[in-house]
Amino acid sequence: MTTLTPAQPGAKSGPNPVQRALGAALRSREVAVAAVLLLVILAATAKSQNFLFDSDGWRSLLVNPSILILLAVGQTAVIITRSVDLSVGSTMGLTAYLTGRLFIDTGLPAPVVVLLAVLAGAALGAVNGVLVAFGKVPALVITLGTLYIYRGIFLTWAGSDRINASDIPRGFQDLGTAQVLTIPVLTIVALIVLGLVGYHLHAHRAGRELYAIGSDPDAAVLYGLPVTRRVISAFVLSGALAGLAGTFYVARYGTVSSGAGLNMELQAVAAAVIGGVAIFGGSGTVWGAAIGAALLVTINSALPVIGIQDFWQRAVVGALILAAVVLDRVLANRQERKLADARDLEPSVTEIEPHATTSTGGTR
């Protein structure tokens, strides 16, 4: 009969759930980026209290990142599959102009216009996904090409034309300034989208499979995961959110010119990387990407208040990106070393077997 020995009086119990949660939070990239964001806000507010406490300052602080948050969330879904979507800026500009033309030429109600813009963005994303999945060409090359194609279509269609605020229905423009309990409506919508995508990635099988594909594409194929379908779906999501960002752009600024969305793809990638999304795929969260987006936008508005020149503003953003990439590699190497040490410490079967048998009595 096996006897259970009580725990030794001097034995130390493991950390309780609160301690484990606190330790995980302190090691979290999202918490670190959020802390930097908070420091930037505090520094700018110390220099000028209007940065935060003025009514327009508070609204701008919340609403300005909303467009980039949508792009960064879609970009995250693509990056975790070990791809990248460089066409989101052009997609956003094209769908923003489409939104304006639909209001001018058709008179459709705003919800229908928004839906059509999102579907158009999803279609452009599907083109990227199909080319990447079936063409077996790196996403960097494919989406760099579609970046210029979509921008060329935009410029050819728009020409010297410009969508003016007077062309947009007043009710739709009001969405750019409307608030609920001092929180801008655009920010609320962006947070809802963030929550839905974040929940899908972490709670649904299809979302978790994106991480598996990014961690090891070959293993994902051998395991039988629908790699092609999942990669296409990630690009469709990125395009759809870029289309929604295009409608946000119209509501926020009221005017659309040929420069709409220019270089936004670089900001989206930077926001995701700074927020802890590994550029090599397989890890990262949309929460971190959203915080990274907020940090990038806030830096651009806060550093001039602090008195830092434009050159150094760009240098700070570049330094953040480099620091994020270096940190990713350091953490990845540390994790690999831990796994290697754990394998080395595992006892062999021959070492376990002599101690694995339990005697229930004397031998006969």
Tens of pLDDT, residue by residue over 315-342, are 877 887 787 777 767 766 776 676 666 6
- Please report how many Cα atoms fall inside a 13 Å half-sphere around the Cα of residue 113, on the Cβ side: 24
DSSP 107: -
Q: How far is residue 242's CA from residue 239's CA, in Å, rounded to a whole number?
A: 5
d(CA 268, CA 101): 26
pLDDT for res 344: 67
What pLDDT sits at residue 36? Answer: 87
pTM of the predicted structure, to 2 decimals:
0.84
CA dihedral in degrees (237, 242, 246, 248; nearest 10)? 70
Crossing angle (nearest 10°) for helices 55-63 and 185-203:
30
74: left (phi over 0), alpha (psi -120 to 50) or beta: alpha
CB 91 within 8 A of CB 246: yes
Q: Are 133 and 231 in contact (CB under 8 A)?
A: yes
From first to last of its 364 residues, what are the pLDDT tens digits of the chain? 445 444 445 444 556 655 555 455 545 778 888 888 899 889 888 888 888 787 788 888 899 999 999 999 999 999 999 999 999 999 999 999 999 999 998 889 999 999 999 999 999 999 999 999 998 889 999 999 999 999 999 999 988 788 888 888 988 888 888 888 889 999 999 999 999 999 999 989 998 999 999 988 889 888 889 999 999 999 999 999 999 999 999 999 988 988 888 889 999 999 999 888 988 888 889 999 999 999 999 988 888 888 877 777 778 778 877 877 777 677 667 766 766 666 666 655 445 444 444 444 444 4
H or E segment and range at residue 266? helix 264-274
Cα distances (Å, whole numbers) of residue 306 to 84, 85, 291: 34, 34, 21
Q: Which pLDDT value is given to residue 346?
A: 61
**CA of 362: how far to CAs of 4, 152, 352, 353, 358, in Å?**
19, 87, 22, 19, 11
Neighbouring CB atoms inside 10 A of 97's CB total 27
Residue 101 CA to its chain's centroid (Å): 29
Q: What is the pLDDT of residue 312?
A: 78
Specify the pLDDT at position 119: 97
Give me the phi and psi of 64, to 5 degrees please.
-60, -40
Answer yes or no: are the C-beta atoms of 234 and 83 closer than 8 Å: yes
Q: What are residue 256's phi and psi, to 5 degrees?
A: -135, 120
For the chain, count helices (H), then strands (E): 17, 2
